[in-house]
Structure 1
């Protein structure tokens, strides 16, 4: 496996974790994009794969039952080091992958094509990829479609992150409003207590009482 520069990888992982998407439940919007990729590319398997520190985890999957694999056996770990599509026409002929458990045993991957999921600030979180059990290639239109769909995956990840941040901000605001209301109530109660206990500062003089007809 290609090892990216340590500083770059540390930053990439930090960005990935900020999305708080790892180990979350399936979501229809991501499954729809994965299914569309499989259909357009005529592939029996498709994944939204996020490359974590020591594993790749699948946010969405078509044609596979496993939810993650070791990063050391990952096609996607190579794909995130490149800006464009990463294509392996026949994994059995590629020394990087020929001995991979994913190739020599089930699901017996022969073909891989992955488009990196690149964030607005340039970090590759993982890939949208399609896989097949036979050696093959993608046509030009299929390649372009895979790139476009990968962009939509990133857009949905961004929307998911911003929605979570907005909800967190709203909850924090509600908490602050509650604290402010409590503080106001406490200040009002303290003011009332002071008003009841404080002596008169300027009592009326006898002269003023006489002037008003008082004795």
Structure 2
């Protein structure tokens, strides 16, 4: 069953309960992550776009009420994100998104990569406001699980067209997430 824009999914869209959020927020603060844009993460978002051929690449840290795009690449660059009517919270619309929007909170709670070749094919995800309000049709994301076992956020790519990510896409996003976690560890260890 394919979701049609404007229709409500049969089970309703629920953002997953995130019991790890308070601990994640403490860890992000300790690492100095998620408070502002970061050139290293912006460069990593550029790589995500280059490697996958997607128009959007994001390094996303997920808090209790919001998501923060510490690394961002869009067709319009780093600001003026064409994510349409998606309201932001606690920051500028270019870098923040409410926690109940998008797919990254699901990835963080599940602690597993998520491949949505066409979000309209998945009733659980098709009703997300990003589908109607921004035209997102495809998502590929993996969690950033650090050495303490906390899922800090995600790396992800989005497209406004369905994308046949398949197994190669899944392996690519997981590999890139692992690379970024190593970068975070090097930063924490003072090696950068």
Q: Give the TM-score normalised by structure 1.
A: 0.67
Tell me if the contact between 2:60 and 2:153 (Cα under 8 Å) persists in the aligned partners. Answer: yes
Counterparts of 2:178 and 2:34, CA distance in 1: 19
Choose which of 143, 159, 162 in structure 2 pairs with 1:116: 143
Query: Are residue 58 (structure 1) and residue 85 (structure 2) matched?
Result: no
Query: Are residue 158 (structure 1) and residue 185 (structure 2) matched?
Result: yes
Q: Runs (4+) of structure 1 moved beyond 6 Å?
A: none
Consecutive unaligned residues in structure 1, runs of 5 or more: 167-215
- Residue equivalent to 2:49: 38
- Cα–Cα, structure 1 residues 37 and 159, in superposed 2: closer, same or farther, change >3 Å? same
Choose which of 161, 175, 179 in structure 2 pairs with 1:148: 175
Deviation at 1:123, TM superposition (A): 0.8
Q: CA RMSD in A?
A: 2.0
Choose which of 83, 91, 113 in structure 1 pairs with 2:119: 91
Q: Secondary structure at the match of 2:142?
A: strand
Q: Secondary structure at the match of 1:73?
A: coil
Tell me if the contact between 1:40 and 1:142 (Cα under 8 Å) persists in the aligned partners. Answer: no
- Residue equivalent to 1:104: 132
- Residue equivalent to 1:173: none
Listed one character per residue, the Cα deviations across residues 139-162 of structure 1 (whole Å, up to 9, x for unaligned) are: 433322211111121122222333
Following superposition of structure 1 onto structure 2, how do residues 127-206 of structure 1 map, counting pairs within 5 Å?
Answer: 127-163=154-190
Query: Are residue 70 (structure 1) and residue 81 (structure 2) matched?
Result: no
Q: Give the TM-score normalised by structure 2.
A: 0.74
- Residue equivalent to 2:25: 13
Q: Secondary structure at the match of 1:53?
A: coil
- Residue equivalent to 2:12: none
Deviation at 1:81, TM superposition (A): 1.9
Name which of structure 1's ranges 110-119 and 76-85 shifts more when overlaid on structure 2: 76-85
Tell me if the contact between 1:34 and 1:48 (Cα under 8 Å) persists in the aligned partners. Answer: yes
Q: Secondary structure at the match of 1:24?
A: coil
